[in-house]
Structure 1
Amino acid sequence: MLLKFFLTCNKIGAFTLGGGYAMIPIMEREFVDKNGWMDKQEFMDIMVVAQTTPGIFAIDMASHIGYKMKGIWGGIVGAVGIALPSIIAILIIAMFFQQFKDNYWVAKFFAGVRPAVVALIAAPCFKMAKTANINRYNIWIPFVCCALIAAFGISPIYIIIAAGVLGWLYGKYKKQS
């Protein structure tokens, strides 16, 4: 079980460009749909926890999922499995980057990869919106949060704290009504 989990994390880490958020749909497909190690709600809950945990998102996700499955050893296996391909790739790139950084084809490759990475990051946002039960009454919340971050430079940490407090207050108000 741990070997299969390690190899799955390793595959995700090796073949996903764009970082942790681009890995979300692949992680969901592997952990929820393909292997059935958890259901969609558990996956979303772990994703929320991993987003609030300090550190690298992909490693946090893999270690939380591994911990849920097999305790401490599962967490370690997940973290190492997802990080190892990136570490190896960075070491190889660092060894040869100076020779290829101005290469025309390398520049074109990165120019082509950037839009694909944006799509890989955007896809889980729409999927999360469905899971979060966003509707016509609360659709304004993500837009206001994005505007506060993009236009005014407000830290996402403050947005998360404010959203949590306001959600708690709203829940308390609804309970009294």
Structure 2
Amino acid sequence: MLLLRLFFTYVKIGTFSIGGGYAMIPLLEKELVKVNHWLTMDQLVDIIALSQMTPGPISINSATFIGYKLAGIPGSLVATGGMVLPPILMILLIARFFFRFQELPVLQAVFRGLRPMVVALILAAGVSFARNALIDVSSVVILVSALFGVTLLRFHPILVILLSGLVGLVIYLP
């Protein structure tokens, strides 16, 4: 029963994850933390962080990790399958028709409406993560420093990840 619920939960997430991995985080929070109570928000934040650091798309990595946590290898396979099935079907459908109809004003209007929604979902994910990640003054300093490093100093994201991890070791290791 868990595997079936896991599959259909990820089919739902995969169907409505317009905008990529970060845009799906509010859906993950709603379905996995609030509706099914399979994870705490802290666990979800940790899994998303791990998914971001490992090779591959964040959506597939997180589905694999969460599926494994809930039901071992079968859970990994089911969650990942549920996550990739809708986008594969959508891509096949879009590939068939998009280039033929991309210049239609109605289609262009739909995409103009979807772009800000994707930004909103990414910002919502950021706010949700901030509630759980910003636990003290040190975590706020790490956030501001990382943001400054990536946006203004144009540090490579890998360097920022490594430096933030090192700072975390120094500050938080007992």
* TM-score normalised by the chain length of structure 1: 0.90
Moved more, 45-54 or 144-153: 144-153
User: For 1:42 and 1:88, how far apart are their aligned partners in 2?
Assistant: 30
User: For 2:88 and 2:151, how far apart are their aligned partners in 1?
Assistant: 31
Shift of 1:38: 2.0
**CA offsets 1:79-115 (integer angstroms, 9 cap, x no match):** 1111111111111111112211111111111111111
Q: Residue in 1 aligned with 2:120?
A: 119
User: For 1:41 and 1:165, how far apart are their aligned partners in 2?
Assistant: 20
Shift of 1:171: 3.7
User: For 1:97 and 1:138, how far apart are their aligned partners in 2?
Assistant: 44
Q: Residue in 2 aligned with 1:57?
A: 58
User: For 2:131 and 2:152, how far apart are their aligned partners in 1?
Assistant: 26
SS of the equivalent of 2:38 reads coil
**CA offsets 1:116-164 (integer angstroms, 9 cap, x no match):** 1101001111111110134556534323322322233322111010111
The yes-or-no answer on 1:20 pairing with 2:21 is: yes
User: For 1:106 and 1:29, how far apart are their aligned partners in 2?
Assistant: 29
* TM-score normalised by the chain length of structure 2: 0.91
Larger Rg: 1
**CA offsets 1:13-58 (integer angstroms, 9 cap, x no match):** 1022111111111111111111111222222221221111110101
SS of the equivalent of 2:118 reads helix
User: For 1:71 and 1:45, how far apart are their aligned partners in 2?
Assistant: 18
User: For 2:136 and 2:169, how far apart are their aligned partners in 1?
Assistant: 19
Q: Residue in 2 aligned with 1:89?
A: 90
CA pair 67-39 structure 1, distance change in 2 beyond 3 A? same
User: For 1:90 and 1:153, how far apart are their aligned partners in 2?
Assistant: 33
CA pair 34-18 structure 1, distance change in 2 beyond 3 A? same
Percent identity at matched positions?
A: 39
SS of the equivalent of 2:152 reads helix
User: For 2:78 and 2:118, how far apart are their aligned partners in 1?
Assistant: 26
Shift of 1:170: 2.8
CA pair 124-164 structure 1, distance change in 2 beyond 3 A? same
Q: Which amino acid aligns with 2:50?
A: V
**What is the Cα-based RMSD across aligned positions, in Å?**
1.6
Moved more, 38-47 or 90-99: 38-47
Q: Which amino acid aligns with 1:9?
A: Y
